[in-house]
């Protein structure tokens, strides 16, 4: 049985509720869940001040209401599932290493920071810095999957080290900036300056994209890994077409200012 949390009072200032994560609620009765601590701005509050709980603490959590001011949901999550029926605030899935978070609405900035495993699915749009490093950090996500069916804004996968980020819509500027490794697939359009400072890794787009002068055209080919990757994404509900799966891709290598071992793959035909 799942634990169901419903927002009954909208927080006035951001609510940091890292307690909403399977391993924290596991085995707790509903009233005990409501007694868990959260931070409402600078005040320590009880989760029950904002949420009413039903069912009992389990590996599966369902959240109802507009949670756009609720931060850090699913923090350090290692197993189980969280389904958010609406929008969600910043830092969803912070430090996640396993399990799945599903957001039916939009997600704010910093989806899955410091993630190392598991999966985050956003059915709406996501903000800036999806899977990116925090300021001052050397690397972004180092594993796991972030699947955004809508569009994302700037700096998606900044300095990411491993893992998969897929975007159904468009991406903003600086997608895969300073990327160390990993894969970013954008079904829509890439913004400008994709892959700036990239060391290794792949940025894939179905559409032509403006590239930096430090990217060199390498070849046109049918990479096998991409075929598997796109089939995987199609299985997860992304609108990948047959022609993409079997198509040719133009490979641009860069960033020549770094290792030049990264690639931007643009669909050819």
Give residues in contact with other proteins (CB under 8 A).
Answer: 12-14, 16, 18-19, 37, 39-44, 69, 72, 75, 90, 94-95, 109-110, 128-129, 134-136, 173-174, 177, 192-193, 196, 211-217, 256-257
Q: How far is the CB of 229 from other proteins (least distance, A)?
A: 28
Quick one: which of 222, 221, 229, 214 has its CA closest to 262? 214
Q: How far is the CB of 13 from other proteins (least distance, A)?
A: 4
Q: How far is CA 33 from the centre of its chain?
A: 27
| Closer of 16 and 145 to other proteins (Cβ) | 16
Q: How far is the CB of 114 from other proteins (least distance, A)?
A: 10
Give the position of tokens 């980020």: 165
Instruction: Tell me the C-alpha distance between 209 and 132, whole Å.
Output: 21
3-state secondary structure at position 253: strand
192 contacts 170 by C-beta, under 8 angstroms: no
| Closer of 24 and 149 to other proteins (Cβ) | 24
Question: What tokens does 76 get?
Answer: 């350090």
Rounded to whole angstroms, what are the CA distances from 185 to 5, 202, 237?
A: 33, 8, 14
Q: Pairing relation of β-strands 51-54 and 3-7?
A: antiparallel
**220 preceded by a cis bond (ω within 30 of 0):** no
Q: How far is the CB of 75 from other proteins (least distance, A)?
A: 7
Instruction: Tell me the C-alpha distance between 168 and 170, whole Å.
Output: 7
Instruction: Tell me the C-alpha distance between 237 and 45, whole Å.
Output: 39
Rounded to whole angstroms, what are the CA distances from 67 to 76, 83, 112, 121, 218?
A: 19, 12, 16, 16, 45
| Closer of 128 and 244 to other proteins (Cβ) | 128
| Closer of 213 and 235 to other proteins (Cβ) | 213
Q: How far is the CB of 8 from other proteins (least distance, A)?
A: 18
Q: How far is the CB of 195 from other proteins (least distance, A)?
A: 11
Rounded to whole angstroms, what are the CA distances from 55 to 27, 30, 73?
A: 11, 6, 19
| Closer of 113 and 168 to other proteins (Cβ) | 113
| Closer of 74 and 168 to other proteins (Cβ) | 74
Which helix (H) or strand (E) covers residue 265, if one does? strand 261-267
Q: How far is the CB of 228 from other proteins (least distance, A)?
A: 31
| Closer of 220 and 256 to other proteins (Cβ) | 256
């Amino acid at each position: 049985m799942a634990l169901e949390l419903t927002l009954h009072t909208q927080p006035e200032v951001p609510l940091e509720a890292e307690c909403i994560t399977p391993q924290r609620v596991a085995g707790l009765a509903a009233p005990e869940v409501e007694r868990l601590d959260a931070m409402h701005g600078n005040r320590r509050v009880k989760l029950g001040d904002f949420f009413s709980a039903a069912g009992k603490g389990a590996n599966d959590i369902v959240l109802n209401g507009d949670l756009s001011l609720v931060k850090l949901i699913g923090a350090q999550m290692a197993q189980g599932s969280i389904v958010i029926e609406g929008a969600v605030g910043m830092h969803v899935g912070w430090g996640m290493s396993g399990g799945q978070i599903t957001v039916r609405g939009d997600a704010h900035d910093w989806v899955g920071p410091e993630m190392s495993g598991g999966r985050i699915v956003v059915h709406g749009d996501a903000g800036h810095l999806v899977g990116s490093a925090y300021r001052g950090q050397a690397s972004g996500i180092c594993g796991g999957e972030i699947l955004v069916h809508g569009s994302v804004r700037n700096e998606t996968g900044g300095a990411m080290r491993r893992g998969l980020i897929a975007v159904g819509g468009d991406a903003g500027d600086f997608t895969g900036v300073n990327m160390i490794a990993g894969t970013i697939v954008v079904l829509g359009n890439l913004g400008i300056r994709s892959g700036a400072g990239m060391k290794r890794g792949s940025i894939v787009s179905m559409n032509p994209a403006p590239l930096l002068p430090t990217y060199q055209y390498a070849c046109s080919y049918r990479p096998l890994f991409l075929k598997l990757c796109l089939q995987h994404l199609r299985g997860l509900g992304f609108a990948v077409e047959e022609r993409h799966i079997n198509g040719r891709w133009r490979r641009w290598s860069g960033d020549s200012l770094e290792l030049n071992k990264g690639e931007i793959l643009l669909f050819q035909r």
